[in-house]
Amino acid sequence: MKASGGASVKLRISEIFHSIQGESTRAGLPTVFVRLTGCPLRCVWCDTEYAFSGGKSTSLSEILDRVAGFGCRTVCVTGGEPLAQAACLALLRTLCDSGYDVSLETSGAIDLASIDERVSKIMDIKAPGSGEAGKNLWENLRCLGARDEIKFVLDSEQDYLWAKEVLNSHKLSAICPILFSPVQGRLDPAQLAEWILRDSLPVRFQLQLHKLLWGSERGK
């Protein structure tokens, strides 16, 4: 399906690739990833710094054609921070109109109110260890529902205790599924799992499945 005005709408794209979803409750699903360039945050443990700049200006029509070429109906729009590009909203809407099952991975630092309601929003809440906790836009919690997810990426016990307090004070588990992940190489996954079990937290523990399969290989 072609988007109306798709030739004139352009986004800067770092990469489009077909892989296994490594995070969220969709982990394990074959997925087409559309990675947009640019991010206003600089998390100290970021694993996609290459998406901060560069990329290629690409029309919406070309993006849709490349996505269609993989023959996969599950699409994840990611970054960087995809919402840093205003045209991301048109991309999400057009993917939904084209019949794709669409998710958005976002830092939570940009307003989510205008996102098409058909999109599943996977929103980070940045813990202090990221260096960007001050960028959390707490008003975004009002934009989330049962089909969305909140993700905490944690690199220490201090991060874990902070996340536990946020989980409880905002009653996050009543909003949507909650994901706790360790920063690879900075927090022992087994230790995080033990804390979650000890405290009986209503969260889902997750590892980055794609890194277990392919390490840090780009486009995977």
The CA dihedral of 111, 87, 25, 99, to the nearest 10 degrees, is 130
For position 165, which CATH number holds? 3.20.20.70
Among candidate residues 21, 17, 14, the one with its CA nearest the CA of residue 213:
21
Residue 142 lies in a domain: yes
What is the domain count for the chain?
A: 1
Residue 219 lies in a domain: no
pLDDT of residue 7: 64
User: Do 87 and 60 contact (CB within 8 A), yes or no?
Assistant: yes
Residue 220 lies in a domain: no
pLDDT tens digits, one per residue of 184-202: 889 999 999 999 999 999 9
Residue 3 lies in a domain: no
Residue 4 lies in a domain: no
pLDDT of residue 8: 82
∠ Cα 151 178 182 (to 5°): 50
Residue 137 lies in a domain: yes
pLDDT of residue 6: 62
Residue 202 lies in a domain: yes
- For the cut 50, the answer to whether the pLDDT of residue 2 exceeds it is no
The whole domain housing 32 covers 10-214
pTM of this prediction? 0.93
Could you give phi then psi for residue 31, rounded to 5 degrees? Answer: -145, 145
| Mean pLDDT for the stretch of residues 163-190 | 97
| Mean pLDDT for the stretch of residues 105-129 | 98
pLDDT of residue 1: 40
Residue 205 lies in a domain: yes
- For the cut 80, the answer to whether the pLDDT of residue 217 exceeds it is no
